[in-house]
Amino acid sequence: MNIMTYNGYHARIEFDAEDDVFFGRLAGISDVIGFHGDSVAELKKAFHEAVDDYLETCRKIGKEPQRPYSGKMMFRVAPEVHRRAALAAELSGKSLNQWAEEVLEEAADHYAEARSPA
């Protein structure tokens, strides 16, 4: 997985072999902000410009720019998973939120390590 980071924003990078271009889109926000470049240097410059333009446009129109990840997560799980997670949290002396944060952090770290170049 190819990821770029700038000014607190992240983007997933892909390559279109048909058009011979790199492209990306900001991740973690619902506003659609895309960019592209013919080389890595152009792509990086376009990414930085896209983030800067987004922030400047928000400032000009008086809109609060979306920031990736507020720290609040709401999702549904099967009742049995909920029961087992709550029990695991209680048995470990933690709230379900504390327990879930630790489990998610461990899983995210493992995922990132598995995908980073050696």
pLDDT in tens, 5-15: 999 999 999 99
**Residue type at position 33:** I
Alpha-carbon distance of 62 to 73, in angstroms, equals 27
Q: Is residue 68 part of a domain?
A: no
- 34 with 7, same domain: the answer is yes
The answer to whether residue 71 is domain-embedded is: no
Residue span of the structural domain in which 111 resides: 79-115
Tens digit of pLDDT for each residue in 6-63?
A: 999 999 999 999 999 999 999 989 899 999 999 999 999 999 999 999 999 999 999 9
Give the DSSP H/E element, type plus range, for residue 73: none
Q: Contact, 92 vs 99, CB < 8 A?
A: yes
56/87 same-domain check = no
In a domain, 49, yes or no: yes
Number of domains in the chain: 2
Q: Is residue 43 part of a domain?
A: yes
42 and 11 part of one domain: yes
Predicted local distance difference test score (pLDDT) of residue 116: 66
pLDDT reported for residue 71: 78
7 is a domain residue: yes
- Please give the share of the chain, as a percent, with pLDDT higher than 70: 97
